[in-house]
Amino acid sequence: MRDKEEKPVDGGRRTWLVATTVVGGFGGVATVIPFVGSFAPSAKAKAAGAPVEVDISSLKPGDMMTVAWRGKPVWIINRTEEQLADIKKADNEVADPKSKLEFSMPLPEYCNNEFRSRPDHKNIFVAVAVCTHLGCTPTPRFQEGPQPNLPDNWPGGFLCPCHGSTYDLAGRVFKNKPAPQNLDVPPYMFTSETQLVIGRDEKGEA
């Protein structure tokens, strides 16, 4: 009788020991998974730094579109011949006409020209839409001539609503403004006549 009574007790102990071991095992796994997972970048982190492919087939002359890259707005503008001519007119009015002063990234070599764009697509302007003064986003003011908060000889460009810095249609800051540098031009390349990639060029990813 005593043997029969001890068996359930031993079985219960075994069950308790097994359950404790299993729970402990799960606890160990639950502790390890977040630790190991912390080494892998999140999807959000990957998206923030990954190159961005853009279809510009619907971007008509004079139009602008905005995309996000690395958490910042990036403009893509299809400049007209008249707007390209206005850039030349502004050479003597901007503080750094040849973009010798870097802001947060170097100007790509292929954009080191008067239009700050690729020579084979000089009409397409790509720029990070972050004012080089305190980081506000400038607003497009493409229309020429006098208008609120702009000079009477305004050639068209961008106005920062925070402190009044102005940029021409190549993202060059005008003289005597709070912003000290021109707008950044990110690395980019065309994969076709209507597709471009921001954040990657012939040298690789930025």
Q: Which residues contact 114 (CB under 8 A, 6 or more apart)?
A: 87, 88, 91, 170
Phi and psi angles of residue 24, each rounded to the nearest 5 degrees, phi first: -60, -40
Q: pLDDT digit string (tens) for 87-138?
A: 999 999 999 999 999 999 999 999 999 999 999 999 999 999 999 999 999 9
Dist. CA 66–CA 51, nearest whole Å: 15
With beta carbons less than 8 A apart as the criterion, state whether 183 and 127 touch. Answer: yes
- Check residue 49 and give its pLDDT: 78
Q: Work out the average pLDDT over 34-42.
A: 38
Task: Identify whether residues 68 and 113 lie together within a single domain.
Answer: yes
pLDDT digits over 133-188, tens only?
999 999 999 999 999 999 999 999 999 999 999 999 999 999 999 999 999 999 99
Kindly report, residue by residue over 44-83, the tens digit of the pLDDT: 544 557 999 999 999 999 999 999 999 999 999 999 999 9
Tell me how far the alpha carbon of residue 66 is from its chain's centroid. Answer: 10
Which CATH number belongs to the domain containing residue 103 in this structure? 2.102.10.10
Same-domain check for residues 157 and 196? yes
54 and 137 both lie in a single domain: yes
Q: Is the pLDDT of residue 9 over 90?
A: no
- Say yes or no: 24 and 57 in one domain: no
Structural domain of 140:
46-205
- Angle 96-102-108 (CA atoms, 0-180°, nearest 5)? 100
Distance CA 54, CA 5 (A): 77
Same domain assignment for residues 33 and 114: no
Confidence (pLDDT) at 13: 47
CA nearest 70: which of 189, 200, 179, 160?
Answer: 200
Q: For the chain, what is the domain count?
A: 2
- The reply to whether 103 and 199 lie within a common domain is yes
CB 111 within 8 A of CB 184: no
Percent of the chain with pLDDT over 90: 73
20 & 121 share domain:
no
52 and 33 in a common domain:
no
Same domain, 25 and 87: no
pLDDT in tens, 180-204: 999 999 999 999 999 999 999 999 8
Strand pairing class (200-201; 139-141): unpaired
Q: Are residues 36 and 70 in the same domain?
A: no
Please give the Cα distance from 7 to 37 (Å, whole number).
44
Same domain assignment for residues 87 and 137? yes
How many whole angstroms separate alpha carbon 158 and alpha carbon 12? Answer: 78
In which band, very low, low, confident or very high, does the pLDDT at 206 lie, cut at 50, 70 and 90?
A: confident
